[in-house]
Structure 1
Amino acid sequence: MRKEATLEQWKELYELCGKLKELKPWEEFWDMDLLVICPEGRKKPYFCSVMGKVGSCYGISVYKGYEGLQDFEMLASTEGGGPSSEYAMFEQTNLTCYWGDREEVPQPQKNIIKNLGLKFRGRGQWPFFLSFKRRFSPYTPDADEVEELNVVYKGLNALLNDFKEHKPAVDYANGEFLWYIYQGPEKGWRQEIHGLPDEAGREYPIVELEDEILKKKLQKKPLIDGELQMDFVYLNGSVREDGYDRPVNPLAFLVVDASSGMVVTVDLLGPDEDEIDSVLNFFVQFIEQYGRIRTVRARNPWVFSALQDLCEYCRIELKAGDMPELDEAVNHMKEYFDGRP
């Protein structure tokens, strides 16, 4: 059950947020220069990414624990041929503050700002907060999340003030990061400079079909020319479903015939449905009906996780790379859902 933050919690958050803005961390750090906060009473570190070094879209994203760090690493990997940036953005879990325009502020937060008697004027001067969770639409943080931001922002403010005073040399290019660790009321904060833990990388399982009879049956199917392009696509929508305290962002498993650009299948997954099951169920049925397609192209790690063993067994080429035909189909599909001609 969702619990809303109190006005006192929001008041503290806006005060801490205002102090962060005054410190202008985007003048010192790039978005990849993670600042690691280890607050009192919290078992997991928080990894903070500062946006705005290039002069636009000022903000701070907070990733909790090593699971959050893995989300950040996935978002960073989109520049190297990984999943699409839009997929990675909606697949992660974090708490983000942006400074934007008044019309960007969610209505519940406009009400909070009014009730607190706060004033923000000008474009790019309005702070607003979004809670990102995979399979769901970005939403206003609840009570626990607001309190979490308050705890992290206290540490982040302390780190930035200390950084401005002492200017520690952090070699981000060679894997160093700035850690700020709370030791208790008497000792206060301790600064450390070292790398990130080995847990940063996310591993995906390689799935093997356990039905040997089915595998042999699929292996004997005729080889057919062609290429299927597969991907998971967030539709960037907002759908209310029973049993969830925030809107669902629909996730679609999409398959396109590369030669014709025609959509072969669209499977909408619920918040609790498994990606691997969706991919395997489709591909097994496809081979049974049509034969072993010569090539499958993908960029999402869940597709490779589901199909790597089966494609190798059936001598189907599983390739990574750009998929312009699928991207065009995605654009048409989103135009349809948006109601545009």
Structure 2
Amino acid sequence: MRKEASLEQWKELYELGIELKGLEPWKDFWDMDLIVICPKGRKEPFFCSVMGKGGSCYGISVYSGYEGLKDFEMLTATEITGISSEYAMFEQNNLTCYLGDRDEVPPQQKKVIKELGLSFRGRGQWMYFLSFKRRYMPYTPDEDEVEELIRVYKGLAAAVREYRENDIPVDYESGECFWYIYHEKEQCWKSEIHGLPDDAGTEYPIVELEDEILKKKLQKRPLIDGELQLDFIYLNGGVKESGYDRPINPLLFMAVDGDSGMVITVEMMGPEDDEIDISLNFLVQFIEQYGRIKTVKARNAWIFSALEDLCEYCGINLVSENMPELEEAVENMKGYFDKRP
């Protein structure tokens, strides 16, 4: 059950946010230069990414624990993995403070700003906070998330000052990061220089179809010419459903005929649905009905994880390449949804 933060909690958060804004940490850190904050009693640290050194999109994103770090790594590795940047963005779990224009501030936070008597003048000066959760639209943080940001920002503000005052020699280009850790025994904060864990990236295990009878049945199906293009697409439009405390961001599984550009299937996934299951089930059913298609194209790592073993077993080429037919189908579909009243 969602519980809203009190006005006093918002007051403390905005005070800390304004303090960090005044420190202008983007003058010292690029968005890839993570600041690692480990407060008192915390087993896993928070990973903070500061945006704005490039001169646009000022803000601070906070990723919780090593699972959060995996989300950050996925977002920054889209060119390597082939996952679309839009998909990676909406797969994030983080808490982000933005400096934007007045019309970008969620109505609920405009009300909080007014009740607190705060004033942000000028374009790009309005401070607001968003909670990102996988499969959901960005939303105003709840009470627990506001408290989490308060806890992080107290350490982050001190860390930025420590970094400047002591000219901490962190070599980010070689993989080092600035860690600011609360030590229980000494009961004080200490700045340290460490790298990130080597296994921080998201794991994509190869899935094997366990039903040996089904596998042999699929392997005997005729080989047919043609090409399937598969992907996961976020619609980036909120859908309110009972039982959820924030709007869902619909995720679609889409299959397109690479030769004709015809859409074969579009399946809307719920927040609990699994990418591997839907990918594997689709290809199994397709082979059963039509045969072993010659080529399957994809760019999402979850699809490769789900289909690599089956494609190899059935002699299907599974490749990562451009999918212009699918891209066109996606644009047409999004255009249709945008025009709906």
Same-fold call, TM cutoff 0.5: yes
Distance 1:79 1:314 in 2: 29
Which deviates more from structure 2 when the two are superposed, residues 178-187 or residues 197-206?
A: 178-187
Pairing 1:185-196 to 2, within 5 Å after superposition: 187-196=187-196
Task: Please state whether the residue corresponding to 2:256 is helix, strand or coil.
Answer: strand
Q: What is the CA-CA distance between 1:26 and the residue it aligns to?
A: 1.0
Distance 2:225 2:7 in 1: 62
Contact 2:81 2:300 in 1 (8 A): no
Question: 1:157 aligned to 2:154?
Answer: no
Which deviates more from structure 2 when the two are superposed, residues 308-317 or residues 205-214?
A: 205-214
**Aligned equivalent of 1:54:** 54
Distance 2:274 2:262 in 1: 25
Distance 2:289 2:184 in 1: 65
Contact 2:100 2:124 in 1 (8 A): yes
Distance 1:50 1:320 in 2: 32
Could you list the per-position Cα deviations for residues 226-270 of structure 1 after superposition, in whole angstroms to 9, with x for gaps in the alignment? Answer: 111111111101011111111100000011111111111101001
Pairing 1:234-313 to 2, within 5 Å after superposition: 234-313=234-313
**Aligned equivalent of 2:338:** 338
Task: Please state whether the residue corresponding to 1:190 is helix, strand or coil.
Answer: strand
Residue type of the partner of 1:112? Answer: V
Distance 1:240 1:47 in 2: 31
Distance 2:199 2:18 in 1: 33
Residue type of the partner of 2:29? Answer: F
Distance 1:17 1:322 in 2: 42
**Aligned equivalent of 2:139:** 139
Distance 1:237 1:340 in 2: 12
Task: Please state whether the residue corresponding to 1:200 is helix, strand or coil.
Answer: coil
**Aligned equivalent of 1:28:** 28
Distance 2:184 2:113 in 1: 33
RMSD of Structure 2 on Structure 1 (CA): 1.4
**Aligned equivalent of 2:97:** 97
Residue type of the partner of 2:219? Answer: Q
Contact 1:159 1:180 in 2 (8 A): yes
Distance 1:192 1:140 in 2: 33
Q: What is the CA-CA distance between 1:75 and the residue it aligns to?
A: 0.3
Contact 2:229 2:257 in 1 (8 A): yes
Distance 1:185 1:216 in 2: 61
Which deviates more from structure 2 when the two are superposed, residues 133-142 or residues 215-224?
A: 215-224
Could you list the per-position Cα deviations for residues 262-288 of structure 1 after superposition, in whole angstroms to 9, with x for gaps in the alignment? Answer: 111101001111111111111111111
Residue type of the partner of 2:306? Answer: A
Task: Please state whether the residue corresponding to 2:169 is helix, strand or coil.
Answer: coil
Q: What is the CA-CA distance between 1:65 and the residue it aligns to?
A: 0.3
Query: Runs of 4+ in structure 1 displaced over 6 angstroms?
Result: none
Q: What is the CA-CA distance between 1:79 and the residue it aligns to?
A: 2.4
Contact 2:81 2:301 in 1 (8 A): no
- Superposition TM-score, scaled by structure 1 size: 0.97
**Aligned equivalent of 2:45:** 45
**Aligned equivalent of 1:113:** 113
Distance 1:109 1:185 in 2: 39
Task: Please state whether the residue corresponding to 1:198 is helix, strand or coil.
Answer: coil
Task: Please state whether the residue corresponding to 1:123 is helix, strand or coil.
Answer: coil
**Aligned equivalent of 1:126:** 126
Distance 2:263 2:215 in 1: 26
Residue type of the partner of 1:54? Answer: G
**Aligned equivalent of 2:77:** 77
Task: Please state whether the residue corresponding to 1:331 is helix, strand or coil.
Answer: helix
Q: What is the CA-CA distance between 1:23 and the residue it aligns to?
A: 1.0
Q: What is the CA-CA distance between 1:82 and the residue it aligns to?
A: 2.2
**Which ranges in structure 1 are unaligned for 5 or more consecutive residues?**
none
**Aligned equivalent of 2:233:** 233
- Superposition TM-score, scaled by structure 2 size: 0.97
**Which ranges in structure 2 are unaligned for 5 or more consecutive residues?**
none
**Aligned equivalent of 1:218:** 218
Corresponding residue pairs, total: 341
Residue type of the partner of 2:182? Answer: Y
Q: Percent identity?
A: 72
Which deviates more from structure 2 when the two are superposed, residues 325-334 or residues 61-70?
A: 325-334
Q: What is the CA-CA distance between 1:106 and the residue it aligns to?
A: 0.2
Residue type of the partner of 2:276? Answer: I
Task: Please state whether the residue corresponding to 2:272 is helix, strand or coil.
Answer: coil
Which deviates more from structure 2 when the two are superposed, residues 331-340 or residues 284-293?
A: 331-340
Residue type of the partner of 2:97? Answer: C
Residue type of the partner of 1:65? Answer: G
Distance 2:164 2:302 in 1: 43
